[in-house]
Amino acid sequence: MIEIWFAIVALMLTAYVVLDGFDLGAGALHFVAAKDADERGRVLAAIGPYWDGNEVCLLVAGGALLVAFPKALAAGLSGFYFAIFLVLWTLILRGIAIEFRSHVEAPLWRVFWDVVFSGASALLAVLLGAALGNLVRGVPIDGQGWFSLALFTDWSARNPVGILDWYTVATGVFALVALTTHGAAFLAWKCDGALQARARHVAAGGFPAVAIAWILVTAATRVVSPGFFAPIGERPIVWLGAVVAAAGLGTAALASRRGRDTRAFLGSCAFLAGLMAATAALYYPDILRSSIDRSQSLTVTLAANDHTGLAVALAWWSIGAPLAVAYFVLVFRLHRKV
């Protein structure tokens, strides 16, 4: 039962990265792919039917942590207190910017909110990547299962660690590059004309950059957390995820150069999904890994709710999950490009 809930949490985080990732990337590209107010409006129209529902995946992941691993959620909320507020502010600013830009017709007003939307989208991608970097590197959990983090210390990725160091900034930049390219592939799929051509150009150049950044971040992970890859020979899902990610990235790179936008976007989705699956498989059984002493890491067994609570939550999940999948299928079908 514990393993099932770990898989559910990983699945919801993966769904969030894949689904909300394309509208984060599209938002970050607001002033690159779109050149005027009309094209920026078309970018918002392209992601408009999806972005609000996509963010629900993050809420569901938090809810899954609450019902399945409440100790991990409590420790994470206290330890990442400041970082969580930054994430919340970027989420709020994105919603406000979309809503407010059309309230006044003045060009300066729209440009201001477009800048806010683009900046908040890019910053959120960096913060999410840095958050994953913190989990992989480890956090200073004490014997009671609690920790606190400064914003930064000496940038060395060695204890005492902070939220930001050279490694977590690198993972944040990698996330920005990957999600921006993902968003470009989405815009090339959904748009047409000059906007589509520019988005396709960004995607074609972005996928090779993602491949290089992936290699560099993987090498950096071996330096910062040498034991992270230790279970690789025992867990076939790691290899499966890596193969899916590599195949997806290669497919996306080739398809974007040939103008096959649907295939490029699906390849990008496969890359992100495979990468998240492999990372989750390597991270198990930890929920919060200790940077001080691995024996003090908060594992799924230590953080889990009791069996009865997990069983009841799984019954409700079995009802809600198909409804959520049906919703996303319906939305994508209703707004598919003709």
Q: Over the stretch 16-28, which tens digit does the pLDDT of each residue have?
A: 999 999 999 999 9
Domain of 50 in residue numbering reads as 2-334
Over residues 22-37, mean pLDDT: 87
Residues contacting 99, CB < 8 A, separation 6+: none
Convert the pLDDT of each residue in 172-227 to its tens digit: 999 999 999 999 999 999 998 899 999 999 999 999 999 999 999 999 999 999 88
Give burial (CB, 10 Å; 0-12/13-18/19+) of 237. Answer: middle
- In the numeric block, the tokens 């699945």 are attached to 11
Share of the chain above pLDDT 90, in %: 63
**How would you classify residue 150: left for phi > 0, otherwise alpha for psi between -120 and 50, otherwise beta?**
beta
Amino acid identity at 39: E
Q: What distance in Å separates the CA atoms of residue 139 and residue 175, rounded to the nearest whole number?
A: 20
**Is 265 within 8 Å of 189 (Cβ atoms)?**
yes
- Predicted confidence (pLDDT) at residue 124 exceeds the cutoff of 80: yes
- Predicted confidence (pLDDT) at residue 338 exceeds the cutoff of 60: no
- How many domains does the chain divide into? 1
Backbone φ and ψ of 326, nearest 5° = -60, -40
Q: What is the DSSP string of 159-174?
A: SSPEEESHHHHHHHHH
Over residues 51-59, mean pLDDT: 85
User: Any idea how long the chain is?
Assistant: 338
**Is 28 within 8 Å of 176 (Cβ atoms)?**
yes
For residue 330, give both structure tokens. 């319906």
Q: Comparing 157 with 203, which gets the higher pLDDT? A: 203
Considering only the C-alpha atoms of the chain, give the largest distance between any 2 of them, rounded to a whole number of Å: 60
Q: What is the 3-state secondary structure (H, E, C) of 274-304?
A: HHHHHHHHHHCCEEECECCCHHHCEEHHHHC
- Predicted confidence (pLDDT) at residue 337 exceeds the cutoff of 80: no
For residue 254, give both structure tokens. 């080739």
Q: Which of 14-23, 88-97, 287-296 has the lowest mean pLDDT?
A: 287-296
The rounded mean pLDDT for the chain is 91
pLDDT at 99: 87
Q: Comparing 125 with 291, which gets the higher pLDDT? A: 125
Q: Which of 48, 295, 28, 41 is nearest to 176 (CA)?
A: 28
SS3 of residue 150 by DSSP: strand
Determine how β-strand 162-164 pairs with β-strand 150-152: parallel
Beta bridge partners, 290, equal 139
Question: What's the whole-model pTM score?
Answer: 0.94
Residues contacting 308, CB < 8 A, separation 6+: none
What is the 8-class DSSP label of residue 228? Answer: G
**Is 163 within 8 Å of 147 (Cβ atoms)?**
no
**Which residue blocks in the chain are alpha helix, DSSP H?**
2-28, 37-47, 51-68, 70-79, 81-100, 107-137, 166-190, 193-224, 236-257, 261-283, 300-303, 307-334
Q: Which of 116-120, 125-129, 139-143, 251-255 has the lowest mean pLDDT?
A: 139-143
Q: What distance in Å separates the CA atoms of residue 184 and residue 165, rounded to the nearest whole number?
A: 28
